[in-house]
Amino acid sequence: MEDISYITIPAGFKANGVASGMKCSDRANINPDTPKYTYLDVGLVASDTPCTVAGVYTSNLVKGHSLVRSIGIIESKKKVRGIIVNSKNANAAVGKAGIEDADFIAGAVAKELGCSPDEILTASTGVIGSRLPLDLISAAIPELVSGLSSSEETAHNSEYAMMTTDTVPKEVSAEITLADERTIRIAGQAKGSGMIHPNLATMIGIFTTDADIDADLLKKMLKDAVKYTFNRVSVDGDTSVCDMVVVLANGASGVKIEEGSEDADVFAEALRSLCEDIARMIASDGEGATKFVEVEVYGAGSEADAKLIVSAVAKSPLCKTAFYGMDANCGRILTAVGYSGAKFDPEHVDIKLSGLLVYKDGVAADFDEDEASRLLHEHDIKVEIFLHEGDCYDRMFTCDFSHDYVTINGSYRT
Amino acid sequence: MEDISYITIPAGFKANGVASGMKCSDRANINPDTPKYTYLDVGLVASDTPCTVAGVYTSNLVKGHSLVRSIGIIESKKKVRGIIVNSKNANAAVGKAGIEDADFIAGAVAKELGCSPDEILTASTGVIGSRLPLDLISAAIPELVSGLSSSEETAHNSEYAMMTTDTVPKEVSAEITLADERTIRIAGQAKGSGMIHPNLATMIGIFTTDADIDADLLKKMLKDAVKYTFNRVSVDGDTSVCDMVVVLANGASGVKIEEGSEDADVFAEALRSLCEDIARMIASDGEGATKFVEVEVYGAGSEADAKLIVSAVAKSPLCKTAFYGMDANCGRILTAVGYSGAKFDPEHVDIKLSGLLVYKDGVAADFDEDEASRLLHEHDIKVEIFLHEGDCYDRMFTCDFSHDYVTINGSYRT
């Protein structure tokens, strides 16, 4: 599926991504051998016709200006034509100018597309506290809009343009056959690597579908879809100011999804599954990550306790450096469970590391160190915690904490 | 003061530290040129006469067995003669054997000292989930006890024996002159480097005083002393299972400190000040740390909000790697303030970096990058956050997040 996933698979969508010069100031001499995400920095996903739209946003009290503008449009239930995303600059914490800058960019896109500015959503990701370089972005917009197409190449370019410290593009799609041979398509793309933590952190996700869905139903399905997927990814515990996931539904398939129908269930599950696929990709591509780690808790006494426990383990620098070092230092997992704030009896805790029992009834099990080492040398690591307090479950996706995380974040801005 | 601080400065205390072979298995061939903390691993601080004692302990639900045993003794208000501490092994999560092992060690010390086993507190720090090597420790106890003295050398040895990933010893002392020329002395020593977070995390602190103080008053003063000192140190946000701070008061000065007296205020402030000195030392010596960072918030709307904010900034891997990289990426500070969970108006936030205004009313200030860079190249960095919501203040001590943190913790156990 990876090979053929891109954002314009649903009918009636076009996309493009261009280099404005924010990522690479020497636009005339871009080396074509370097990955496209090193120079593409402004992306656009647009529909031929107006779309219903739903969004979920960062819980950070400080919100970027491009995001604040988009929230206003989405929550007013207006239909939209597309979303422009820039990387390299978060358009955050610059005061009133930030909203004006976002308006200016949306206006420039709208003029080229022939629609109203408030039909264009804006999103920005990157460094906080600097004005957007409007000259560079506005100079790039004509090329950005005129190059829009439904081709695989321009679709991928729109994804590359969103990437910051991501090292791999994150694109998914599904074609769904409903009753009576009717088909609809959903596609998604995202950026997100560091600063990923519930809720949503520095990720931007864009989903498109050619189903015809009412905005309220779309919002409900999106909220359900992110709950155990994007809201269960932690790379470093930090939560950014710019994050959002949006779904644009243009109805180009001619298939209407009605609330309460079997079709709605099928669609909701497909959307959730695609969100999970991207959530796993984000954790795997965490800044400097060498491991993908899934933390699961079984038998918690409450949903809140279950979430506290998976969060504590997934955020623990000591657990994450041990995964990096491939050291079966499972006492650190028990320690994190202990300080999570969840209520449980320490003498009834079992812990498995990729299936190997390492703690039984709160006591270190006499496990085979060679087997543990072998399991920790796998790329995918699973931690399962059994509390025997109740029947609540939760899980979180994360990665390890490596030297490269420190290198990347010690000098991201400069 | 650093040069002359050691735990036996108060009258009537003796100490010692020896190499049992846990840190260095080849005891016969210890290289005398290596630092003593690389091989000393069992320490003892003892009073000639019984002491009142107060303690504060980790909030982790999982508690080490040596700690659980000590809590039982301290909370029963029994008087004690001393405390034995071993490093390298936390004596945690090994089941019932853990308490038996701690009892065995205390019994061996008591036999040599000629006191009751429940007059000897136990503390252990190190790896979780392995039984203590009783053969090594019990073989070392006769030498440990027979070598007890009030000399500076053996006192330092008791500190070296507690150190794990610490790179510098942490010892403080004060002589206090009360009214009528009466003097008392307080001294303290601690270990703690990684896994330091409120409340108390992997630190062990021992204070001695020759004042005569009732156990209840001592406990009250200790709780007040740790509140804004040890409970405001964060190295990596992890909280360990073995932490405690104890104060032993043997009355050898003949000076009685009465509750509610002026003497009690003077003593409490001296104890608090020594705790602050050690808290700063612990943050400065955080695993892999190259910077000492003090985070302060002014004008928070509530004490809870103030604590949320300093915790969020002090724990943020993104802020901490930026301090390491000496990058004035102050948007990360604003971001952490935003996701802290505290209530405030983002448009009224000011932030200073070592005195330089970097955010004003939530907007990036036009500060001098060269000046910011110069300030970040200092070892001590101060972050001040002004919320203008109320009059609550808090502060936290932390350090940066370096490559060495990852190296140290990727392979601590093996």
B242 & B355 share domain? no
Q: Least CB-CB distance to B413: which of A92, A327, A411?
A: A327
- List, for residues A9-42, the tens digit of each pLDDT value: 999 999 999 999 999 887 778 888 889 999 999 9
CB atoms inside a 10 Å sphere around CB A224: 15
B276 & B375 share domain? no
Task: Cite the DSSP H helix spans in A92-227.
Answer: 96-113, 134-146, 152-160, 215-227
pLDDT score, position A331? 85
pLDDT score, position A412? 52
Q: Least CB-CB distance to B334: which of A59, A93, A407?
A: A93
pLDDT score, position A237? 57
Domain of residue A375, residue span:
292-410
H-run or E-run covering A395: strand A392-399
| Distance, first Cα to last Cα, chain A | 37
| Distance, first Cα to last Cα, chain B | 37
CATH number at residue A401: 3.10.20.340
Q: A364 touching B, CB under 8 A?
A: yes
Q: Last residue of some domain: B266, B284, B302?
A: B284
A311 & A203 share domain? no
pLDDT score, position A197? 47
How many structural domains does chain B have? 2
- B153, B118 Cβ separation under 8 angstroms: no
B260 & B114 share domain? yes
A234 secondary structure, DSSP code: E
Task: State chain A's mean pLDDT as an integer.
Answer: 90
Is the confidence at residue A238, as pLDDT, over 60?
Answer: no
Q: Least CB-CB distance to A331: which of B92, B236, B411?
A: B92
Q: Last residue of some domain: B253, B284, B315?
A: B284
Catalytic, out of B202, B208, B209, B239: B202
pLDDT score, position B240? 62
In this structure, are strands A363-364 and A380-386 parallel, antiparallel, or unpaired? unpaired
Is the confidence at residue B195, as pLDDT, over 50?
Answer: yes
pLDDT score, position A126? 87
**Binary contact (B127, A329; C-beta < 8 A):** yes
A398 is catalytic: no
B234 & B304 share domain? no
Is the confidence at residue B65, as pLDDT, over 80?
Answer: yes
A300 & A274 share domain? no
pLDDT score, position B1? 40
pLDDT score, position B411? 63
- List, for residues A174-187, the tens digit of each pLDDT value: 999 998 899 999 99
- List, for residues B227-241, the tens digit of each pLDDT value: 889 888 876 655 666
B158 & B197 share domain? yes
Give the tokens for residue A412: 């991201």
Q: How far apart are CA B122 and CA B65, in angstroms?
A: 9
- For residue A318, the chain B residues in CB contact (below 8 A) are 194-195, 236, 238, 409
B155 & B227 share domain? yes
Q: A409 touching B, CB under 8 A?
A: yes
A12 & A35 share domain? yes
pLDDT bucket at A77, cuts 50 / 70 / 90: confident
pLDDT score, position A300? 97
Complex confidence, ipTM: 0.73
The predicted model gives B31-49 an average pLDDT of 93
A299 & A243 share domain? no
pLDDT score, position B9? 97
A·B CB contacts under 8 A: 206
Q: Last residue of some domain: B284, B314, B345?
A: B284
Q: Least CB-CB distance to A237: which of B90, B317, B329?
A: B317
Angle separating helix axes A403-410 and B403-410, nearest 10 degrees: 170
Cis omega (within 30 of 0) for bond into A199: yes
pLDDT score, position A195? 55
CB atoms inside a 10 Å sphere around CB B175: 12
Q: Could you tell me the pTM of the whole model?
A: 0.81
B117 & B191 share domain? yes
To which residue do tokens 């009073």 refer? B47
**Higher pLDDT residue, B115 or A240?**
B115
- For residue B61, the chain A residues in CB contact (below 8 A) are 337-339, 342-344, 346
A113 & A211 share domain? yes
Q: A334 touching B, CB under 8 A?
A: yes
pLDDT score, position B32? 81
**Binary contact (A318, B409; C-beta < 8 A):** yes
Q: What's the per-residue H, E or C state across B43-97?
A: EEEEEEEEEEEEEEECCCCCCCHHHHHHHHHHHCCCCEEEEEEECCECCCCCCHH
Sheet containing B233-234: give its strands across: B233-234, B392-399, B292-300, B380-386, B350-353, B356-360, B363-364
